[in-house]
Chain A
């Protein structure tokens, strides 16, 4: 199932405007250069993996795209428009959603409240929570993405790790108007759950948001992504299309053996 979908990379969406484009990004902390001249484009409906050894600068880059850090130099464009983020909520307002490794979910609340966390729907002059509508829309969304949970009204605590991460991904997908950023989304999951979550990520392609995924797991990168960008010591070593590369080349690029 997975390999079939990855085989159909021919159905690439409109490439005229990149969902995310990074131009000459540079980040310096005091005298230390963390990222040097980084360029990358993520097209709508494309999954781009970001790989690199520990300390290569992946998380710095992720933090710049999610608004936690501001780049020292360079330009971030969302859907072709220059964007700058004051903080993470600002990035979120502009259409960048992040899926964290440690699940930013509220355990004792139902799924639908998590789906709308911070953007709850209200009704009436008293602006009371419109729980029914939130539950209905959440149910539609999870059904649409074929995520198996008991109900949109189930409490997060009742769900498995894989189901929780699936909820976090659904939420990000639902709200992202340009980019979903995933930071090691399956690092905390078992094998079967990882497969489920990967299926879900691959399905996101159809919804049109660009996906930038940070992963340590090269097998995963080859299973789900369209292209892979390699970082080493803060520098971009190269970007390869998955169809035209192999593990050995990527490993060589990561370690600098090439």
Chain B
């Protein structure tokens, strides 16, 4: 009994220092950055059109972030998502151009992602290579495929239903891209927090030995996670193609860092076992806001890159201060 009396405050302090701080750093950062831009840029930043534009432009990042939360939660990483965006967008756009079928285009784009995800999952689980190396290799290879199939040319999309569904459409006045974000976050949250699959994902990242002796099918779950991540990237590619009315091999090439930063800042652990879906949404919006504010502040592209890199570094180091045991 007496030992419990001593132990409780220690536990409380531990939680206050690591748990809560990490959990809320993204919200604090969000508010600080928002206030900074609101004061510094005023009306230019703080108007409905601009704010909803931020959410709309962030949609592909948000969708990718949902997939990556699952990957990081199992203790793996997926570096190939940026390349998958390009190859899926190009595949989708090409199929739509050749068949004029929105459904075939979308299916082809998603299928490409599923294939890349299966390849990643196969090498991570069956060949047992670190996901860092596997997805670094597929990142390069898939980027090459995107260049190859497009001949470095962009592929325009003129199909109205494709553009409507994935880009500029809206439902009851709400832009479709915002709906895509909300749906992705809702599904991600439900699956991670409220299904057995989600529980298994987190258990694997936390203690893979315990997961295995508890009968969790580690290989299957990891493959599914890699496929899920790649398919989220495919969807992001389709969203880009829809919004921009076309696809190009450069799509998504700068997104990898943004997505990783959004997810980490959102409170997902890089070392597995902890995933934060709502945090990932906040992280994505934070990144989108940063992007938007830096452009409005009239920084040159090179200055934007520097500023973004520095800010991401600060944000990630604040949110990654976790136990190293």
Contacts and interface: CB of A to CB of B under 8 A. Distances in A.
A12 interface: no
Given A127-B195, A129-B195, A106 B202 contact: yes
Contact of A106 (B7, B196, B210): B210
B98 interface: no
Interface string A94-117: 000010101111111100010001
Interface in B1-31: 3-4, 7, 11, 15
B143 to A, nearest CB: 35
A160 interface: yes
A200 B209 CA distance: 25
B215 A106 contact: no
Nearest to A117: B214
Contacts of B200: 118
Interface string B211-251: 11111100000000000000000000000000000000000
A120 B195 CA distance: 9
B209 A104 contact: yes
B82 interface: no
Contacts of A102: 209
A106 B203 contact: yes
Contacts of B313: none
Nearest to A114: B210
For A113, A128, A192, the residue with the greatest tally of chain B CB atoms inside 10 Å of its CB is A128
A100 B213 contact: yes
Interface residues of B, number: 26
A192 B4 CA distance: 13
B194 A117 contact: no
B190 interface: yes
A100 B190 CA distance: 32
For A88, A103, A106, A128, the residue with the greatest tally of chain B CB atoms inside 10 Å of its CB is A106
A120 B193 CA distance: 12
Interface in B117-151: none
Contact of A119 (B190, B215, B274): B215
A148 B4 CA distance: 10
B199 A107 contact: no
Given A106-B202, A127-B196, A118 B274 contact: no
A129 B273 CA distance: 18
B206 A109 contact: yes
B207 interface: yes
Given A106-B273, A128-B195, A129-B196, A118 B209 contact: no
Nearest to B199: A120
A120 B214 CA distance: 11
Interface in A111-138: 113, 117-120, 122, 126-129
A92 interface: yes
Contacts of B210: 103-106, 117
B215 A118 contact: yes
A181 B212 CA distance: 17
Given A129-B195, A129-B196, A160-B7, A106 B213 contact: no
Given A108-B206, A128-B195, A129-B199, A117 B216 contact: yes
For B199, B216, B273, the residue with the greatest tally of chain A CB atoms inside 10 Å of its CB is B199
Contacts of B195: 122, 126-129
A89 interface: yes
Given A129-B195, A192-B3, A106 B211 contact: yes
A89 B196 CA distance: 17
A158 interface: yes
A93 to B, nearest CB: 8
Contact of A158 (B11, B215, B216): B11
A98 B11 contact: no
B202 A108 contact: yes
A118 B214 contact: yes
Given A122-B196, A128-B190, A88 B273 contact: no
A98 B193 CA distance: 27
B161 to A, nearest CB: 29
A97 B4 CA distance: 30
Interface in A223-248: none
A93 B193 CA distance: 26
Contacts of A192: 3
A92 B210 CA distance: 13
Contact of B206 (A107, A118, A120, A148): A107
B244 to A, nearest CB: 35
Contacts of A106: 202-203, 206-207, 210-211, 273
Given A104-B210, A109-B206, A117-B210, 15 more contacts: A92-B213, A98-B213, A104-B207, A106-B207, A107-B207, A108-B206, A113-B199, A117-B203, A117-B216, A118-B216, A122-B195, A128-B194, A129-B194, A129-B196, A158-B11
Interface of A: 88-89, 92-93, 98, 100, 102-109, 113, 117-120, 122, 126-129, 148, 158, 160, 192
12 contacts: A104-B214, A105-B207, A106-B211, A106-B273, A113-B199, A117-B203, A118-B215, A120-B199, A122-B196, A127-B196, A128-B194, A192-B3
Q: List the 10 closest A-B pairs by CB distance, nearest first.
A: A118-B214, A104-B210, A89-B215, A118-B215, A117-B214, A128-B194, A106-B206, A120-B196, A106-B203, A108-B273
Interface of B: 3-4, 7, 11, 15, 190, 193-196, 199-200, 202-203, 206-207, 209-216, 273-274
